[in-house]
């Protein structure tokens, strides 16, 4: 806006200078016409003077002289051209031009040599030419004085107007720049305050403009959308954290109450076995009770694995592989975790989420892959933790599928869990001749 205002003022200044120059050009053209008229009259006066000399010579000689007549014709032609040029300037009145034309016509030798007529015409022509010369000379002097005065006034006026317009343009540019800069800084401060609130934990999104008019509006819309996405991510993280905490509480309640009660029942059954009358029935009930307690421990481990809390993520994954692949027909497994990955300390929610994702990946291999080999690895790749689950099974189409599609819900859940902790889950072909490689890449936050 400020450059446009300054440019508009500069355009007006140029228009003023152009008008001033046009006015000066008109006056210069008028001065040029006066000069042309004066020179034409002076040439006409000289021609008339020489014609008068030739007429005097002819009167004295009393005989026709061809050279004098030829000279008379040339002077008449020169006089006629001078009068024509004078008429083109338009500075001589109609009556004066009529008198000049009439006198010039009376001096035409082609109409006959009449010395008395020549003398009469010259007597009328020369005084009139001298009178016109005097008037034109006076007008030239007046115009010259006015012209110098106009130039001085024009220079002063142009300088004053130029300084005034430039000063006003600079003032307007500064005022508009300050106004818009203050407006822009106010908008930037709103965005900065909103970002500071989000950083402090207040996820109130800054107001988004209804219409994007410039880059700041686009930035406000982007911050608003980022805040909404952050709210969803934090909500999902809180939900997962709450769910894991509830799983942990339920597992502790089962361990502290239900298993303790079942252990007491088992001890009572052991006492009954000592009596001969009900020994066989008590043994059968004890076996069923032992299977129920074993299944209950499996449920507890699925709710919240104690190995994860006690020994850490690598040990929990290795224990999971041993339990999952101990039945007949299970694939041969291999687990590898380098020292850096094994010693890595992750937040509890992140660690539990990674464990849940690995559980889902291993279950997919066991249920659908029909593989004979299963490898799980944990390594550090740059500033990221990489967990890979690879098999030599049947494989599947790695293209993303909607969660409602049959078989796509588990993969969608894995991606949602990974997104909740800032990780990225992907599937590709295995390095075996067949099968699938699942890879979870978790960026590590720099402290």
Lowest mean pLDDT segment, chosen from 39-48, 186-195, 199-208, 326-335 = 199-208
Greater pLDDT, 344 or 397: 344
pLDDT of residue 78 exceeding 80: yes
Q: Please report which confidence band the pLDDT of residue 446 belongs to, taking 50, 70 and 90 as the band edges.
A: very low
Q: CA geometry: angle at 47 spanning 45 and 53, to 5°?
A: 105
CATH number of residue 315's parent domain: 3.30.565.10
Quote the pLDDT of residue 244.
64
- Average pLDDT estimate for 154-176: 76
**Helices within 305-421 (DSSP H only):** 306-310, 313-324, 339-342, 348-364, 409-420
Position 86 in a domain: yes
Instruction: Tell me what pLDDT residue 406 has.
Output: 45
Domain range spanning residue 86? 2-172
Average pLDDT, the chain: 77
For residue 209, is it within any domain? Answer: no
What is the number of domains present in the chain?
2
Query: Which of 145, 172, 199 is the last residue in one of the domains?
Result: 172
Whole-angstrom Cα distance, residue 100 to residue 122?
10
Residue 245, domain member (yes or no): no
Residue 441, pLDDT score: 94
Is residue 18 one of the residues assigned to a domain?
A: yes
Environment class of residue 31 by beta-carbon count within 10 Å: exposed (0-12), middle (13-18) or buried (19+)? middle
Spatial separation of the C-alpha atoms in residues 60 and 53, rounded to whole Å: 11
**pLDDT of res. 388:** 94
**62-69: average pLDDT:** 74
Q: Which of 71-80, 323-332, 395-404, 413-422 has the weakest average pLDDT?
A: 395-404
Structure tokens at 402: 């909607």
Question: Where does the pLDDT of residue 391 fall: very low under 50, low under 70, confident under 90, or very high at 90 and above?
Answer: very high
Label residue 416 by pLDDT band (50, 70, 90): confident
Which of 150, 172, 194 is the C-terminal boundary of a domain?
Answer: 172
Task: Name beta bridge partners: 391.
Answer: 374
Note whether 436 and 369 are within 8 A (CB): yes
Question: How many Å apart are CA 418 and CA 438, to the nearest integer?
Answer: 12
Determine the pLDDT at residue 121: 80
pLDDT at 390 over 70: yes
Distance, in Å, from the CA atom of 116 to the CA atom of 28, rounded to the nearest integer, reads: 43
pLDDT at 5: 64
Between 326 and 209, the higher pLDDT residue = 326
pLDDT score for 137:
80
**Which residue, among 315, 350, 345, 321, has the nearest Cα to 442 in the 3D structure?**
350
- 24 lies in some domain: yes
The first and second tokens of residue 404, run together, are 């409602």
Lowest-confidence region among 36-40, 129-133, 201-205: 201-205
Cβ(346)–Cβ(309) under 8 Å? no
Place of tokens 């909404």: 228
CATH number of 34's domain? 1.20.120
Q: At what angle do helices 94-106 and 66-89 cross, to 10 degrees?
A: 170
- Burial category of 248 from C-beta neighbours within 10 Å (exposed 0-12, middle 13-18, buried 19 and up): middle
Give the integer Cα–Cα distance in Å for 238 and 246.
12
Is residue 396 within 8 Å of 409, Cβ to Cβ?
A: no
- Classify residue 28 as exposed, middle or buried by CB count within 10 Å of its CB (0-12, 13-18, 19+): exposed
pLDDT, position 389? 94
Q: Is position 215 within any domain?
A: no
Instruction: Report DSSP state, residue 64.
Output: -
- What pLDDT does 18 receive? 66
190 assigned to some structural domain: no
Last-in-domain residue among 144, 172, 200: 172
* Residues 220-226: contacts with CB under 8 Å, at least 24 apart: 220/187, 220/190, 220/191, 223/191, 223/194, 223/195, 223/198
User: Which residue reads 């009439």 in tokens?
Assistant: 102
Mean pLDDT calculated for residue range 218-243: 70
Whole-prediction pTM value? 0.44
In a domain? residue 438: yes
| CA distance linking residue 17 with residue 27, whole number of Å | 15
pLDDT attached to residue 374: 94
User: So what's the pLDDT on residue 235?
Assistant: 63
Residue identified by tokens 């599947």 is 396
pLDDT of residue 385: 93
Query: Does pLDDT of 255 surpass 50?
Result: yes
Residue 386 has pLDDT above 90, yes or no: yes
């Amino acid at each position: 806006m400020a450059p446009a205002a300054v440019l508009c003022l500069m355009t007006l200044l140029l228009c003023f200078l152009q008008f001033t120059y046009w006015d000066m050009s008109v006056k210069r053209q008028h001065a040029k016409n006066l000069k042309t008229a004066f020179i034409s009259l002076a040439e006409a006066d000289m021609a008339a003077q020489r014609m008068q000399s030739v007429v005097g010579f002819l009167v004295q000689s009393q005989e026709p002289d061809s050279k004098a007549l030829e000279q008379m014709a040339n002077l008449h032609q020169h006089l006629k051209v001078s009068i024509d040029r004078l008429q083109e300037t338009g500075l001589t009145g109609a009556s004066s031009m009529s008198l000049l034309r009439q006198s010039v016509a009376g001096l035409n030798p082609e109409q006959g040599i009449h010395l008395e007529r020549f003398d009469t015409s010259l007597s009328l022509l020369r005084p009139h030419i001298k009178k016109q010369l005097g008037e034109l000379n006076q007008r030239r002097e007046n115009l010259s004085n006015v012209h110098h005065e106009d130039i001085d006034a024009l220079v002063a006026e142009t300088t004053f107007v130029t300084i005034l317009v430039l000063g006003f343009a600079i003032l307007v540019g500064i005022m508009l720049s300050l106004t818009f800069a203050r407006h822009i800084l106010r908008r930037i401060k709103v965005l900065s305050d909103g970002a500071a609130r989000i950083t402090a934990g207040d996820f109130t999104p800054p107001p988004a403009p209804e219409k994007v008019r410039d880059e700041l509006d686009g930035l406000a819309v982007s911050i608003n959308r980022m805040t909404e996405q952050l709210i969803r991510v934090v909500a999902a993280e809180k939900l997962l954290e709450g769910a894991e905490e509830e799983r942990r509480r339920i597992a502790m309640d089962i361990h502290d109450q239900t298993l303790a009660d079942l252990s007491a029942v088992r001890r009572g059954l052991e006492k009954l076995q000592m009596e001969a009358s009900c020994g066989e029935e008590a043994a059968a009930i004890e076996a069923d009770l032992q299977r129920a307690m074993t299944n209950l421990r499996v449920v507890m481990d699925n709710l919240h694995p104690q190995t994860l809390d006690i020994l850490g993520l690598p040990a929990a994954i290795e224990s999971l592989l041993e339990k999952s692949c101990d039945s007949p027909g299970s694939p041969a497994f291999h687990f590898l975790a380098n020292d850096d990955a094994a010693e890595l300390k992750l937040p509890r929610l992140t660690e539990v989420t990674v464990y849940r994702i690995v559980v889902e990946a291993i279950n997919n291999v066991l249920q659908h892959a029909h593989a004979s080999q299963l490898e799980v690895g944990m390594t550090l790749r740059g500033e990221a933790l990489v967990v890979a689950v690879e098999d030599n099974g049947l494989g599947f189409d790695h293209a993303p599928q909607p969660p409602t599609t049959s078989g796509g819900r588990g993969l969608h859940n894995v991606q949602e869990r990974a997104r909740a902790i800032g990780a990225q889950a992907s599937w590709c072909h295995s390095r075996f001749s067949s099968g699938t490689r699942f890879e979870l890449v978790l960026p590590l936050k720099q402290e």
